[in-house]
Structure 1
Amino acid sequence: MVQRPLVPALGLAVVGGVLLTASYEPVALPWLLPLGVACYALATRDLTVRRSGLVGLVFGVVFYFSHISWMKDSIGADAWLALSTVEALFYGLLGLAVPLVRRLPAWPLWLAAAWTTMETVRSGWPFSGMPWGRLAFAAIDTPAAPAVAYVGMTGLSFLLALSGFCLARFAEAALAREQRRVWAAVAVGVLAVLVTPAVLPYDVPETGSTTVAVVQGDVPGPGNDILWDHEQVTRNHVDATVELAADAAAGRVAQPDFVLWPENSTAVDPFEPGRVNAGIQEAVDAAQVPVVVGGIVDGGRRYVLNQGIVWDPQTGPGDRYTKHHPVPYGEYIPFRDIWNPKFGQLALISRDMKSGTRTQPLRIAGVRVGDAICFDVAYDDVMPPQVRDGAELLTVQTSNASFIFTHQIEQQFAITRLRAIEAGRWLAVASTNGQSGVIAPDGSVVASAQPRTTSVLVEKVGLSTALTPAMRLGAWPTRMFTLMTLGALVSGAVAYRRRREFDDPAQQAPEEEPPALSPTPSEAPVV
């Protein structure tokens, strides 16, 4: 195999990482996404396994360090460096597989499956992973977004990756002046599959309606520290709910069927007697409808729970949802028994946050509601199982206070809108100080609150029990792409080894003996 110079390949990887970052918020130019993915394929072309892994790693570093740069300014530079490094390594691992996969016919198909599998693995491992940066999350407000109702987040990532790799294959064919029409037709076909749902969106029939009130109470002080005055945070939500009840009684707004508070609307155990508990009861008594409180609940000497609690005016606290994916080194310390840090921000995590396991919807005012807390919305094992289990409406309780001055808020809201399309459900988002809103099943925002304000959104929303194709498929796309990847790696490894043997210089043939000289007269045979 003829080796390409490494420096131009590294430069192309840098360009690809920048283009992919620009596909997401805050730049939000999603048409750059196929170009960024294509650069990955072109940068790793005609390289050995090790060199391809290095180029893939450089692509991952450029992309991920810039994509979650908000973590540096909110959580801390140490957490940003650690998480970005771990996530970038996955793009390097994928790079190791590229020379193997490229030995196969129709390699863009197999490489797209490998990219999708890589996203799946890093979204769940290690320590529950980090889904940020999946290709599907850049698709909101594009003609490709409605496709998520048919194929889910995993399927949409695959189609987007395939479009980029087909573009790369077309570029290679054009440079080599071979099969240009074939690969141009394939690329157009993939794009047609992506945008067809925009013309034929999957409409989920509604079976009823309910009215929800979303309360954004705001965070006092600097606005980026929920603990700066946590009791005032709770009081803000209490006062806003009491005022809502007065407005509803006077007919200025519709009477809600339930009220949604955000995550961390109480930063202490709301069940303990005191001002926080009394404030919640005051709000519930005024509203006379259930209030879904976001609270940190005592889980014993070693643990706390981050929960959404349905607080009924007659029966008190009832159904609860517990956050499935606490943030490692943000809400718990992995392997604390082995390593218990007592420095920096880590010293503030005195107790670990336990993970929830509930997949059944909450029952709120006669409605089955699928809940998620903050980063949970980015994981495939939180909302989709609740929808399949009968959720008629979706809610997200989040506390974006730590990220209020960053672009994390915009990225998370984009993911949330895609979840509404994927499930075919109305979705209500309550945040402490931004970004709260009510989202329709087509991903459009029908109401929103300005960040860093106290706001109440009252909206009539539809209910549904029907399932989109994506919800019916469940985890099958993930399983299929994983099997495709494993098969491609095995087949590619065999082909790669044979090609290496073929490319090795053949052993030099022994020199032929010089032809014998004609016999001299004295050696001539006797006749």
Structure 2
Amino acid sequence: MTTLDRDETQAPAAPPNPAAAAGRPLPLRVAAPMAVAAGLALLLAFPPYGVWPLAPVGVALLAAAAHRRRLRAGAGVGFLTGVALFAPLLAWTNLHTGYLPWALLSLLQAGYLALLGAATAWVSPLADRGRWQWPALTGLLWVGQEALRDRTPFGGFPWGRLAFTQDDSPLLRLAALGGAPLVTFAVALAGGLLVTAVWRGWAARRAARPEWWLAVAVPAAVAVAVGAVSLLTPVAAAGGGKAVTVAIVQGNVPRLGLDFNAQRQAVLNNHVDATLELAARVASGAQRQPDLVVWPENSSDIDPLRNPTAGARISQAADAIRAPILVGAVLLGPGPGQVRNAGILWRPDTGADMAQLYTKRHPVPFAEYVPLRDVARMVSDQVDLIRSDFVPGSTPGVVRAGPAVLGDVICFEVAYDEVVRDTVTGGAQLLVVQTNNATFNAAEARQQLAMVRLRAVEHGRPALMASTVGVSGFVAPDGRVSDATGFNTREVVVRQLRLDSGRTLATRLGWWPEVALAGLAVAALAGAGVLRRRQRVVPG
């Protein structure tokens, strides 16, 4: 026996290498471009592009790029996806405020996708242990990431949720069952099914593992089940209650930009004059008499409760149209140096109804108020452009207008699940989103309208969005949009709607679907930790 033979015979068997057994991640030269492509695919799924089937593709690309990577590398590819998505998606934030706020916000949001990439890498052993688990893990981690991003920091920023890509998709129907979190889960689950089906190397191992068919059959069955549920989920094309006629007045502004309200009287006059023109058409019989008129956010940046001239002009409009007007107003107080972003009902003959006033509950940090102002000033002295902090309201936006009970939310509040739901559980029959897009662009307005569509389906309510400059329009309980206006135009649209007082399953369940899905995501992370610990223990 030669020395070489003896060494080979007596050499102990090498301990099993869990990483080698599980396979290797994709080469970084492949994974990095895939991560960027994932962000771009997700971007194209959002309005104004609206190619919603690309959302699962983006999810699949990120899942594949992060699979089996070390945590730092997983975070890196997730960050690449986040930058590729959020930098262009939020480009409207730099139109009039400069590049710094846009860059900081985009990088902050990308950081959450970095956490998602790290979490995806962390649970890779679970996906490798049972390939049929990979789609569910993908869906759970996306819901968990969004639950965190929607709440932190300073109340969170839910823009860019997967659910908001599906305004034209059959999956939108799932919002009636479990709200935006369930739609996000379904989209991410579809992405997980896609990556499971095409992951390299899996086909080569099928012959060696008798249970390979589970990795195909189980995801396929799940895909069929999700598709069937989404298509069979009933959504009403119209409300089932009494009919009301509602007018949206989009008065437009003298110029777009941060100084849109430099001519505050002109903005107010635009909305008054448009309403007076509507009243003239009603008097001539050319237009149906509205039961309610909705003006947008910032339609009166002159406090009409303290400025007699502004109050008189609004009263002139309400008296002429002979219907209550929901006015978006900036109100002074309650303390010195404080203001409120409010929706106030203005009735004909009697004027402001102080009992029907909603103050925005979720002001936007660094836009409507500055948290940690002294610290923020060290980053940019631009924070001092916000001279007065908007103070939040404390009660849901349930406004009893007479002909209808309104669920009023203001601008970005439509992105927050609980803010909208609180109005419905409070009795709202019609969802109203008052917004001002004069400091943004048409892309931002269309992204916001997609959120309104989801909320209409989620709660089974007719809805509308009223903007100073567009896009304004009506949304049916099945998500269809009617009478959408152009951008940066003055328009008035009138439509008869049927109210609804029922409650969808999503309304009844509230935040519990998200709690359950996010809880399962935490359990998956813990389970992956246990499995990783066991894999490190190599028998001697």
TM-score using structure 1 length: 0.90
Alignment-mate amino acid for residue 145 of structure 2? M
Decide whether aligned partners of structure 1 residues 330 and 145 sit closer, same or farther in structure 2, where only a CA change above 3 A counts.
same
Over 3 Å counting, the alpha-carbon distance change for 1:267 and 1:176 in structure 2 is farther
Secondary structure at the aligned position of 1:265 is classed as coil
Question: Among residues 500, 504, 529, which one is paired with 1:464 in the alignment?
Answer: 500
Q: Tell me the alpha carbon deviations over residues 237-264 of structure 1, each in whole angstroms, 9 at most, x when there is no partner.
A: 0011112122212221111111100000
- 2:478 pairs, out of 420, 423, 442, with 442
Give, as a single letter, the amino acid of the residue that structure 2 aligns with 1:100.
W
> C-alpha distance in 2, partners of 1:275/1:186?
68
How far is the alpha carbon of 1:169 from its aligned partner?
Answer: 1.5
| Deviation by residue 1:433-455 (Cα, 9 ceiling, x = unmatched) | 11111111111122122222221
Which deviations, in whole Å up to 9, do the C-alpha atoms of 1:479-518 show, x marking residues without a partner? 101211221111111111222344xxx87xxxxxxxxxxx
1:188-210 CA-to-partner distances (Å, cap 9, x unmatched) read 43443443333443337512121
In structure 2, the partner of 1:143 is 170
Q: Is the 8 A contact 1:226 1:264 kept in 2?
A: no
Measured after TM superposition, the shift of residue 34 of structure 1 is 1.0
What is residue 325 of structure 1 aligned with on the other side?
A: 362
In the alignment, structure 1 residue 452 sits paired with structure 2 residue 452: no
Q: Distance in 2 between matches of 1:90 and 1:143?
A: 27
Q: Shift of the alpha carbon at 1:180?
A: 6.2
1:43 aligns to what?
A: 65
- The reply on whether 1:213 has 2:240 as its aligned counterpart is no
1:347: Cα distance to partner?
A: 2.3
Report percent identity of matched pairs: 38
Report the CA distance shift for 1:205/1:278 in structure 2 as closer, same or farther (over 3 A). Answer: closer
Tell me which moved more, 198-207 or 80-89: 198-207
| Other-structure match for 2:283 | 249
User: In structure 2, do the counterparts of structure 1 residues 340 and 79 end up closer, same or farther at CA, with 3 Å as the change threshold?
Assistant: closer
SS of residue in 2 equivalent to 1:25: coil
Q: Residue 397 of structure 2 contacts residue 409 of structure 2 at CA under 8 Å; is this kept in 1? A: no
Contact kept in structure 1, 2:464 and 2:474, CA below 8 Å: yes
- CA deviations 1:189-233 (Å, max 9, x no partner) are 344344333344333751212111110101113577422422111
Q: What is the DSSP-based 3-state SS (H/G/I as helix, E as strand, rest coil) of the residue aligned with 1:396?
A: strand
Please tell me whether residue 348 in structure 1 is matched to residue 385 in structure 2. Answer: yes
Q: Which amino acid aligns with 1:351?
A: S
Alignment equivalent of 2:191, drawn from 160, 164, 176 = 164
Counting only pairs closer than 5 Å after superposition, residues 402-413 of structure 1 correspond to structure 2 as 402-404=439-441, 406-413=442-449
- 223-232 or 439-448, larger mean C-alpha shift: 223-232
Report the counterpart of residue 496 of structure 1 in structure 2.
532
Distance 1:442 1:74 in 2: 35
Question: Given the superposition, is the C-alpha separation of residues 180 and 76 from structure 1 closer, same or farther in structure 2, using an over 3 Å criterion?
Answer: farther
Residue-by-residue CA offset, 1:338-395 (whole Å, 9 max, x unaligned):
5556965422101111122322511002421101111111110111121122111111
The answer to whether 1:271 aligns with 2:305 is: yes
CA deviations on 1:392-449 (whole Å, 9 max, x unpaired) are 1111111001113x51111111111121111111112111111111111111122122
Superposed counterparts of 1:152-301, under 5 Å: 152-172=179-199, 174-178=202-206, 181-196=213-228, 197-203=230-236, 206-222=240-256, 225-299=259-333, 300-301=335-336
Question: How many pairs align?
Answer: 503
The answer to whether the Cα contact below 8 Å between 1:212 and 1:258 also exists between their aligned partners in 2 is yes
Hey, what does 2:348 align to over in structure 1?
313
Change (3 A) 1:344 1:274: farther
Report if the CA contact (8 A) 2:292-2:403 is conserved: no
Superimposed CA distance per residue, residues 270-299 of structure 1 (whole angstroms, 9 cap, x where no aligned partner): 211243222112112212221111011112
Q: Which moved more, 1:112-121 or 1:447-456?
A: 447-456
The answer as to whether partners of 1:359 and 1:386 remain within 8 angstroms in 2 is yes
- Aligned partners of 2:316 and 2:378: how far apart in 1? 40
Structure 1 residues 48-127: aligned runs within 5 Å: 48-104=70-126, 105=130, 106-127=133-154
Structure with greater Cα Rg: 1
Instruction: Determine if contact 1:437/1:449 at 8 Å carries over to the other structure.
Output: yes
Check the 8 A contact 2:140/2:520 in 1, yes or no: yes
Question: Are the structure 2 counterparts of residues 190 and 136 from structure 1 closer, same or farther at C-alpha, using a change threshold of 3 Å?
Answer: farther
Compute the displacement of 1:456 (Å): 1.2
Per mean C-alpha deviation after superposition, the further-off stretch among 237-246 and 70-79 is 70-79
Q: Using the alignment, how far apart are the partners of 1:195 and 1:140 within structure 2?
A: 16
Aligned to 1:516: none
Identify if the C-alpha distance between structure 1 residues 274 and 341 changes in structure 2 by more than 3 Å, giving closer, same or farther. farther
Greater shift in the superposed pair: 424-433 or 354-363: 354-363
SS at match of 1:457: strand
Q: CA RMSD in A?
A: 2.1
SS in 2 for 1:26: coil
Verify the 8 A CA contact 1:221 1:228 in the aligned structure 2.
no
Measured in 2, the distance between the counterparts of 1:223 and 1:60 equals 27
- Matched residue SS, 1:212: strand
What secondary structure does 2:95 align onto?
A: helix
Does the alignment pair 1:335 with 2:335?
no
State the one-letter code of the partner of 1:35: V
Does the CA contact (< 8 Å) of 2:458 and 2:507 recur in 1?
yes
Give distance in 2, aligned partners of 1:88 and 1:342. Answer: 19
Moved more, 215-224 or 112-121: 215-224
Q: 1:382 aligns with which of 405, 419, 428?
A: 419
The structure that is helix-richer by fraction is: 2
Q: Distance in 1 between matches of 2:537 and 2:499?
A: 62
SS of corresponding position for 1:458: strand
2-structure distance, mates of 1:10, 1:113: 23
SS in 2 for 1:13: helix
- Paired AA for residue 465 in structure 1: S
- Residues 24-43 of structure 1, C-alpha deviation per residue, up to 9 Å, x if partnerless? 12222111111110111110
Distance 1:154 1:11 in 2: 28
Per-residue CA shift, 1:103-143, capped at 9, x if unaligned?
22413313321210110110121012111111110001122
Match of residue 392 from structure 1: 429
**Paired amino acid for 1:62:** A
